[in-house]
Amino acid sequence: MEQTGWRSGYIALAVCVAVCLLIALKLVVWSPADKGVRRLGDPDAVELKAMSMAEIPGITFGAALKRSITWIAFISCSLAVIVSSSILQHGIPTMVMAGQDQTAATAIVSAMSIVMMFTGPIVGIVCDKWNLSIAAVGTSLFFAASTVGLALMGTGSIGMVLYVGGYIFGVPAINIISPLMMGHMYGEKDLGKLIGYANVFIGIGGAIGASAVGMLYQAYGSYGTPWLYMSVILVLVAIICGICTSKKRKFGPETADAAQKKQV
């Protein structure tokens, strides 16, 4: 890189990733069973037959993918992670540019990571004991508040309060809410596959997230407007989560019957 420049280094990394993808396309299969490998604890043929005879409540994976709301929910997972990865990459630089000491900014982020060990279970309790919709919308709005705090960083203590408070209660919108949302809409039949798809979209959001705010920063010359854009995205995520976790979207026998009729 010292001789050819930083662009050649990134091109070399891109080539390495492309080679890895080609190898993955050749070798990776849907499950170990496709390669004749049986994992310890996997059910045998007799157990699989008994499981297939049992009626597991839920909508099939194929039927779920035919619904537009499913893809909207997947996209909301990507949008939330775009913001999350942007905060991880640009949160500390935003605080430093607003006048915070580098060491203090790093300490704040580290402290938030520790606190989230406790706020995550709190959000889980809200989901279990009260209402999934309240938790889904609430975490997204808290997350939006954290980006507003970053936009206001340097204008007073309110920016730091919003950022810290919003972030520690907003991050569970990704890891906790997304699988519960899939179960809420489609039951348990193919929940594993649906969560797997949601994780794919989460990965996509993580891959492009940091560059999104970086490009906006280059366009505007500051972090204020880019973080406000991120807050708008999270409000959109809150709306989608509210729709997906509403009583109308909750899985029940009638929704399963309707899905089967559509397949027929």
Q: Which tens digits make up the pLDDT trace of 75-122?
A: 999 999 999 888 888 889 999 998 888 888 899 988 988 888 888 888
pLDDT tens-digit series, residues 109-127? 889 888 888 888 888 888 7
CA proximity to 183, closest of 142, 127, 126: 127
For residue 40, what pLDDT band results from cuts at 50, 70 and 90?
A: low
Contact 51, 209 (CB under 8 A): no
pLDDT at 39: 61
End-to-end CA distance of the chain: 59
pTM of full prediction above 0.85: no
Contact 72, 240 (CB under 8 A): yes
pLDDT reading at 224 higher than 80: yes
Contact 182, 162 (CB under 8 A): no
Count CB-CB contacts under 10 A for residue 196: 13
pLDDT tens-digit series, residues 125-136? 887 777 888 888
User: Exposed (0-12), middle (13-18) or buried (19+): which is 120, by Cβ within 10 Å?
Assistant: middle
Which domains, ranges and CATH numbers included, belong to the chain?
A: 61-252 (1.20.1250.20)
Token reading at 258: 């309707």
